[in-house]
């Protein structure tokens, strides 16, 4: 089992390194020439280590994959270098530098190592000056300092905006001096591909000559890894693409522990990506925050004019600028720690309830806020760098056209875990200082509540319109009922009155046989009135009654309907032809029986002489069945089809008794069951009419 041992000396943090140096074993100058050290990497750390070890007397082999140590990525550190020299007499100290560095590292750094860095920081400046680094100086010749982000004292030594480059040139000069003296043997264009260990200690490396491809081995008493961090872990960063940490990975595979596999820095002054061919971000010097002020327009219209190039930054007065760092962090102002700057900006955007997404010209997601991640239920970090089209399936409607160079407002629908949500989308193009389109910003405002309220209002209006239409239809129906019932009840009532007069007269004349016949007619007229009332009650019940559809046996229902009409069928000598079997459908057996009774009675009444009736069914192959009944009567003209079910008129008015409510009842029942009613006729004697209805199976 491996045990993590950082080899940090014991003791208090302020004394442990001094005590360690005082008690450490030293190597005599005569023995140093017998020892060899391999240094991987020739940036600021590697070049300085190789030059210093060579000056101490060790034999050094330095390796880099570039064609010259001058091409190390350390050149990118242009802002400055800190040291606790207290030249400005502003109460700086080793402890204050230690504290600021620990805090700036989000309390993740090893405190003992950071304290050691603070202790030797003054000596590092002296070494750089000795190497010829042209630090800026005051008028009197003393080294100059300036403020830097994250601290309240001036401790930064700088060389204009080229500090990293000048530091690297200084280290490179010291390294070249040792190369010339023979203390350092330089291997450029060599890549370390393996680490050689003996008894758990690094004793050499295997390297590839990147020019010839030859694999070579190199032995040493110690190996120093100064190859930098893994910059490519980020999709876009200010690191060179060659920062792939391959040497660190080789050491890890040999059992080394990863203390910090990627040195992470946050640069709030990066220039965003501006094209599909850009592989890394552009860094503006951190010194800009020392000499300038960070601000954003207070007014949205000013920001819009800036984006469109109508006005320039200098056209906005100070009172219309939001110096948000000075406002939020008055002690530090613009020199607030660099990680706080994007955090402040990020918090402002993340606190928005609206979703924000930034897309470049190749439809790649550059940035999103937390609200957008919540909208589509995705992690923000997983979204950045992906193609936006990967998430287009979440949009139920077409997303805005991405090639537009003008603002517009649209609506879209997004599928979420909570269902479907509606959004108002504001599209804004992003342009550079040449007014060229370089990206797009989408602002998604949730309008689900408003949309649902509108939908509810529309639905209520639709229900109200339907209810009004139903009431109007009811009024029409009632008017038709009144006309029909008044007409049809008038005859039997008149007959009843006339019959009673005849009965009285017959009784007075003692003609009992004739009176009995009149009473039979009176009874028949009473049944007619009762049937009219029953059918009116049926219409009312269909309109109001709720039901749960169940499976019904059409065979039993049809047979029961035929039984009810046996007397009428025998009287008219009607023939009824039935199929061998009937399908099972969902509905209400009593109501469907009433439908068949009405259709059969009409077919018998209006059929030929004698009536021949054919009944049947048809599977529509979509879960529905069509039922039909055909008679052999005279038929009907097509212009009368609609009136059959709406005006409650009889199929014929000459020699057939009735009141015209049967087909209205049929239509109401079938529509209540979720079906439809149809009628067709060739209007030719002998071919009659075909009445049909559709129900769900």
Q: Which residues are catalytic?
A: 338
Rounded Cα gap, residues 294 and 417, in angstroms: 40
Q: Is the peptide bond before 289 cis (omega within 30 degrees of 0)?
A: no
CB 227 within 8 A of CB 60: no
Cβ neighbours for 438, distance < 8 A, ≥ 6 positions apart = 274, 275, 360, 361, 430, 431, 432
Helix (H) / strand (E) element for 498: namely helix 448-508
Extended strands (E) in 73-166: 81-82, 156-157
Rounded Cα gap, residues 519 and 30, in angstroms: 149
Using a 10 angstrom Cβ sphere, with 0-12 exposed, 13-18 middle and 19 or more buried, the burial of residue 193 is: middle
Quick one: how far is CA 347 from the chain centroid? 20
Which residues on adjacent β-strands are paired with residue 617? 627
Residue whose C-alpha is closest to residue 597's, from 581, 576, 582, 617: 576
Using a 10 angstrom Cβ sphere, with 0-12 exposed, 13-18 middle and 19 or more buried, the burial of residue 492 is: buried
CB 334 within 8 A of CB 293: yes
Rounded Cα gap, residues 630 and 651, in angstroms: 14
Structure tokens at 227: 């190859």
N residues, the chain: 697
Quick one: how far is CA 469 from the chain centroid? 42
Rounded Cα gap, residues 344 and 324, in angstroms: 8
Residue whose C-alpha is closest to residue 613's, from 626, 595, 627, 600: 600
Cβ neighbours for 388, distance < 8 A, ≥ 6 positions apart = 357, 359, 363, 364, 365
SS3 198: strand
With tokens 């509606």, the residue in question is 422
How many helices (DSSP H) and strands (DSSP E) are in the chain?
A: 20, 25
Instruction: Give, as one character, the DSSP assignment of residue 137.
Output: B
Rounded Cα gap, residues 353 and 355, in angstroms: 7
Alpha-carbon Rg for the chain, nearest whole angstrom, is: 48
**What is the CA angle 518-523-528, rounded to 5?**
125
CA atoms in the 13 A half-sphere facing the CB of 162: 9
Quick one: how far is CA 303 from the chain centroid? 27
CB 200 within 8 A of CB 183: no
> What is the sign of the dihedral through the CA atoms of 55, 56, 60 and 66?
negative
Cβ neighbours for 673, distance < 8 A, ≥ 6 positions apart = 549, 586, 587, 588, 591, 592, 695, 696
**What is the CA angle 426-431-432, rounded to 5?**
155
Rounded Cα gap, residues 519 and 445, in angstroms: 81
């Amino acid at each position: 089992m491996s045990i993590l041992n950082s080899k940090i000396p014991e003791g208090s943090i302020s004394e442990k390194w001094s005590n360690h140096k005082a008690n450490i074993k030293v190597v005599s100058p005569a023995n140093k020439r017998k020892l060899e050290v391999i240094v991987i990497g020739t940036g600021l750390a590697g070049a300085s280590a190789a030059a210093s070890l060579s000056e101490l007397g060790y034999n050094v082999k330095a390796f880099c994959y570039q064609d010259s140590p001058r091409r190390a990525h350390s050149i990118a550190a242009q802002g400055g270098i800190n040291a606790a020299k207290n030249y400005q007499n502003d109460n700086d100290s080793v402890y204050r530098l230690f504290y600021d560095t620990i805090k700036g590292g989000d309390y993740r750094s090893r405190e003992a190592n950071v304290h050691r860095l603070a202790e030797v920081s003054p000596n590092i400046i002296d070494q750089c000056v000795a190497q010829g680094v042209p630090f800026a100086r005051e008028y009197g010749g003393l080294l100059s300092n300036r403020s830097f982000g994250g601290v309240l004292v001036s401790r930064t030594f700088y060389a204009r905006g080229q500090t990293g480059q000048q530091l690297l040139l200084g280290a490179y000069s010291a390294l070249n001096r040792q190369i010339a003296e023979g203390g350092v043997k330089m291997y450029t264009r060599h890549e370390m591909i393996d680490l050689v260990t003996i008894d758990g200690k690094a004793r050499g490396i295997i390297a590839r000559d990147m020019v010839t491809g030859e694999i070579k081995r190199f032995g040493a008493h110690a190996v120093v890894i100064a190859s930098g961090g893994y910059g490519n872990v980020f999709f876009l960063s200010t690191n060179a693409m060659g920062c792939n940490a391959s040497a660190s990975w080789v050491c890890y595979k040999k059992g080394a522990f990863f203390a910090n596999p990627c040195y992470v820095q946050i640069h709030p002054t990066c220039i965003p990506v501006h094209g599909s061919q850009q592989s890394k971000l552009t860094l503006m010097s951190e010194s800009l925050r020392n000499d300038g002020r960070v601000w954003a327009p207070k007014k949205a219209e000013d920001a819009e004019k800036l984006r469109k190039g109508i006005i320039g930054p200098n056209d906005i007065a100070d009172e219309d600028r939001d110096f948000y760092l000075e406002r939020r962090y008055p002690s530090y102002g613009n020199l607030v720690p660099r990680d706080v700057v994007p955090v402040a900006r990020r918090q402002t955007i993340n606190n928005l309830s609206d979703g924000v997404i930034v897309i470049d010209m190749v439809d790649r997601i550059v940035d999103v806020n937390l609200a957008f991640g919540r909208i589509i239920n995705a992690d923000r970090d997983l979204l950045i760098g992906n193609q936006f089209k990967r998430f287009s399936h979440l949009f139920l409607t077409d997303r805005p056209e991405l090639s537009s160079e003008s603002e517009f407002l649209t609506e879209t629908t997004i599928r979420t875990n909570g269902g479907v949500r509606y959004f108002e989308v504001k599209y804004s193009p992003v342009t550079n200082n040449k007014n060229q389109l370089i990206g797009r910003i989408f602002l998604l405002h949730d309008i689900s509540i408003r949309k649902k309220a509108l939908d509810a209002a529309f639905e209520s209006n639709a229900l109200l319109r339907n209810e009004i239409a139903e009431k109007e239809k009811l009024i029409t129906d009632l008017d038709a009922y009144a006309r029909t019932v008044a007409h049809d009840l008038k005859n039997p009532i008149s007959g009843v009155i006339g019959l009673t007069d005849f009965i009285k007269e017959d009784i007075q004349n003692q003609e009992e046989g004739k009176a009995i016949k009149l009473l039979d007619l009176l009874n028949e007229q009473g049944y007619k009135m009762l049937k009219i009332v029953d059918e009116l009650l049926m219409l009312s019940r269909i309109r109001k009654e709720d039901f749960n559809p169940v499976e019904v046996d059409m065979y039993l229902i049809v047979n029961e309907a035929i039984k009810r009409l046996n007397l009428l069928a025998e009287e008219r000598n009607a023939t009824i032809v039935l199929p061998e079997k009937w399908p099972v459908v969902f509905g209400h057996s009593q109501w469907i029986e009433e439908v068949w009774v009405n259709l059969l009675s009409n077919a018998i009444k209006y059929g030929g002489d004698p009536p021949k009736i054919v009944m049947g069914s048809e599977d529509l192959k979509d879960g529905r069945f069509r039922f039909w009944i055909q008679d052999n009567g005279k038929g009907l003209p097509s212009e009368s089809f609609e009136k059959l079910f709406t005006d409650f008129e009889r199929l014929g008015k000459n020699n057939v008794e009735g009141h015209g409510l049967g087909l209205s009842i049929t239509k109401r029942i079938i529509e209540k069951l979720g079906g439809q009613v149809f009628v067709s006729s060739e209007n030719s004697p002998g071919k009659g009419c075909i009445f049909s209805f559709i129900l769900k199976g």
